[in-house]
Amino acid sequence: MCRVCAGPVEEFLDLGRQPLSDAFRDPADREPEFFFRLAVGRCAQCTMVQLVEEVPRESMFHQDYPYHSSGSAVMREHFQRLAGRLLAGELSGPDPFVVEIGCNDGIMLRTIGQAGVRHLGVEPSGGVAEIARSNGVSVRNDFFQESTAVQIRREHGPADVIYAANTFCHIPYVDSIFAGIDALLGPGGVFVFEDPYLGDIVAKTSFDQIYDEHFFLFSARSVAAMARHFGFELVDVERLEVHGGEVRYTLARAGARTPSPAVAELLAEEEAAGLANMATLRRFADNVHRVRDDLRSLLEDLRAQGKRVVAYGATAKSATVANFCGIGPDLVEFVCDTTPAKQGRLTPGSHIPVRPASAFADPYPQYALLFAWNHAEEIMGKEQDFQAAGGQWIRYVPTVTVE
């Protein structure tokens, strides 16, 4: 049943048994891992693409949640630029107030706070919330929902902007979220969120964007339908290059603002591409299976030739690739990553050792599987010596290539 409109959901892709994507294991841990069936379907009524099974939120977002938004220079610049736009626009009035759902380590709100603007981050993961707090960001360590929003409104007054980045798609209980937004948002305020875009996922066959935390895969059409269902309206969209292709959506109360022409343009583009059609989604599923078979075959061939292969970037989405494709330490020696909390641990489900970034050049492997493909430009710019030494990158988005 659809978590937005309660319509029937038809499954089109099954990615098999998957672990929690950010549950990196201590090698000494002998406790059984949590697995669930990662399958995705489309609502026949509102066309929202969503996971078939829901993972408990407390299992994913907790004290030791390892992802830090500020870990990438590209993302730091992205959020600083957005903060500047908000300060010059929606937050330029008298005594503005902004609330961020899932502020992580506070990289966006830090700029807002430094400008002297009232703000509050609502972050359920204790570790990253504490980092944000240590950097001067006002944080409430909690899940955002209706009851939370009512308390925030009582304590701080109405919000001019409610913002979420790579967070809203994580939340299945959208009825409580929209009730909270309705309670907290001022009459002329906006809800702005950015998340991976279904159109890019389908076009690029980037199936690793599907994992436990990404419950919804949004399109302009499905977001517009969701907004209408809860008394809001989609008034602007903006395509973004970050994280492999996202869209920033702006919602306001129905009739409060005139929608931007960009909304109609993206809706027309999706209609022309047949993005909401099951036939399109089933072709995407066929392409996913083709990439799996090609990647597995390539890695097996390299192993037979005695070549060293390591992976680059112990990302959450790499759990989907490794477990769906059956990639373990027999095919990939280790994964290098800059996140200290992941180093010395094993990747979820596939149990590939995670080593510091310095291990990549000690010595260089012959091949590197680019799990963090959405940061390819940043990574390849930093690792030019790898290719100069004869190393080759293995990529699987949109197809399996060696370069």
Q: From CA 319, how far away is CA 23, in angstroms rounded?
A: 10
**pLDDT at res. 63:** 57
Whole-model pTM above 0.85?
A: yes
**pLDDT at res. 378:** 87
CATH topology of domain 59-279: Rossmann fold (3.40.50)
**pLDDT at res. 65:** 54
How does pLDDT run across 2-15, given as a tens digit for each residue?
999 999 999 999 99
How does pLDDT run across 122-146, given as a tens digit for each residue?
998 888 888 889 889 999 999 999 9
Q: Which residues of 49-81 are buried (b: 16+ CB within 10 A; e: fewer)?
A: bbbeeebebeebbeeebbbbbbbbeebbebbee
Domain spanning 280-402, CATH architecture: 3-Layer(aba) Sandwich (3.40)
Look-up: residue for tokens 């022409």?
Answer: 261
CATH 3.40.50.720 placement within the chain: 280-402
Average pLDDT score over the chain = 94
Average pLDDT on 370-386 reads: 92
Using DSSP's 3-state secondary structure scheme, residue 28 falls into: coil
> H-type helices in 193-342, by residue range?
198-204, 220-229, 261-273, 278-304, 318-325
Residue type, 124: P
The CA–CA distances, whole Å, from 397 to 186, 247, 291, 402 equal: 42, 19, 8, 11
pLDDT band at 60 (very low <50, low <70, confident <90, very high): low
Percent of the chain with pLDDT over 90: 85
How does pLDDT run across 297-340, given as a tens digit for each residue?
999 999 999 999 999 999 999 999 999 999 999 999 999 999 89
CB 43 within 8 A of CB 4: yes
Look-up: residue for tokens 């702006």?
Answer: 250
The continuous run of DSSP H or E covering 75 comes out as: helix 73-88
Would you say residue 68 has pLDDT above 80?
no
**pLDDT at res. 292:** 98
**pLDDT at res. 132:** 85
pLDDT band at 62 (very low <50, low <70, confident <90, very high): very low
Of the candidate ranges 49-53, 101-105, 123-127, 392-396, the one whose mean pLDDT is the lowest: 123-127
CATH 3.40.50.150 placement within the chain: 59-279
The continuous run of DSSP H or E covering 153 comes out as: helix 146-156
